[in-house]
Structure 1
Amino acid sequence: MSRRKGLSRRTGSTLLLLEALAWVIFIRASLWLRPYQKLLKFCQTCSIGHAGEHAERVPRAVRRAARWIPGASCLTQALAAQVLLARRGVRSVLHLGVNLTPSGGFGAHAWIEIDSIVVMGGDQRSLKRYSRIISHETGPAAGAAAKPRIA
């Protein structure tokens, strides 16, 4: 790899990390201050659609950025990843699931899938314990499917 190409890739990764950090901060603060449905509607309008630009690096960038933000839950990370993917022209589905813990408590989790493959928030096997209660698709050509679907 030439030096210029390597420098360009590092610059792209750094910019993606900074963009991820900004979205994680914004979404974390918004979850404190706004109703979830309003935030979800706002996130739907953030799609730009630059085809695939660093899309494969989005989940990692969001996870790295979230380490610096207190309270950046799975929901915060999933929403940030979904916005970043939509901005890159990638259609994704955010799932919210619930389960009962062994101690009788209640658990909830959010994750992202692209073409039915989990890209953020766990793996297929670990997510089987959650019952999906809502799914939200966004990205290019999501159209009418962009509305949350109750499972």
Structure 2
Amino acid sequence: MKRYGWRRLALAVEAAFWLLTAWLALRLVPFRFLVGTLSPRVTHPAPQGTERRRIVRQVCWAVMAAARRFPIPIVCFPRAIAAQRMLARRGVATRLPYGVRRELDGSLLAHVWVDVDHVTVLGNPTTGFSIVTIFGK
């Protein structure tokens, strides 16, 4: 088993909190009310360069690590919301593109991912998704 420092552990606990919060909100709050919360304000000055990349990498690691260990399946939308919240707290603005594609059996598959500076950092979409809307800046 890998050993992580207190900072990484605290980041993973924060990610677990936001994953649970997002998972519950998506199930309990009518979506029309939830939409208004999907563009959190970034209140801190935006970090730049190496510091910005480090923050994004660490938050994405924490969200994925916590999601893998969750007792319930955590899909793309709560993962994206958790990452968006954590990054906003650290001064990094994000966008959450919401895309759909038609499967061979005719069903629709939806997917949400996280973009920072127009680069996908979490939930990399496979080909064929048409963006329906974008939440965030």
Partner of 2:121: helix, strand, or coil?
strand
Deviations 1:9-55 (A, max 9, x none): 82211111000000000110111100224234235456443745833
Is the contact between residue 42 and residue 93 of structure 2 (CA under 8 Å) also seen in structure 1?
A: no
Alignment-derived partner of residue 16 in structure 2: 21
Alignment-derived partner of residue 66 in structure 2: 65
Percent sequence identity over aligned pairs: 28
Alignment-derived partner of residue 108 in structure 1: 110
Q: TM-score, normalised by structure 2?
A: 0.81
Deviations 1:82-109 (A, max 9, x none): 1111111001110100010012211100
Q: TM-score, normalised by structure 1?
A: 0.74
Is the contact between residue 47 and residue 83 of structure 1 (CA under 8 Å) also seen in structure 2?
A: no
Alignment-derived partner of residue 74 in structure 1: 76
CA RMSD of aligned residues (A): 2.3
Unaligned runs of at least 5 residues, structure 1: 1-8, 139-151
The ranges of structure 1 where at least 4 consecutive aligned residues each deviate by more than 2 angstroms after the TM superposition are 36-56
Q: From the CA coordinates, give the structure whose radius of gyration is larger.
A: 1
User: Equivalents in 2 of 1:61, 1:136: separation in Å?
Assistant: 22
Unaligned runs of at least 5 residues, structure 2: none
Is the contact between residue 97 and residue 113 of structure 2 (CA under 8 Å) also seen in structure 1?
A: yes
Alignment-derived partner of residue 49 in structure 1: 44
Moved more, 41-50 or 83-92: 41-50
**2:132 matches 1:137:** no
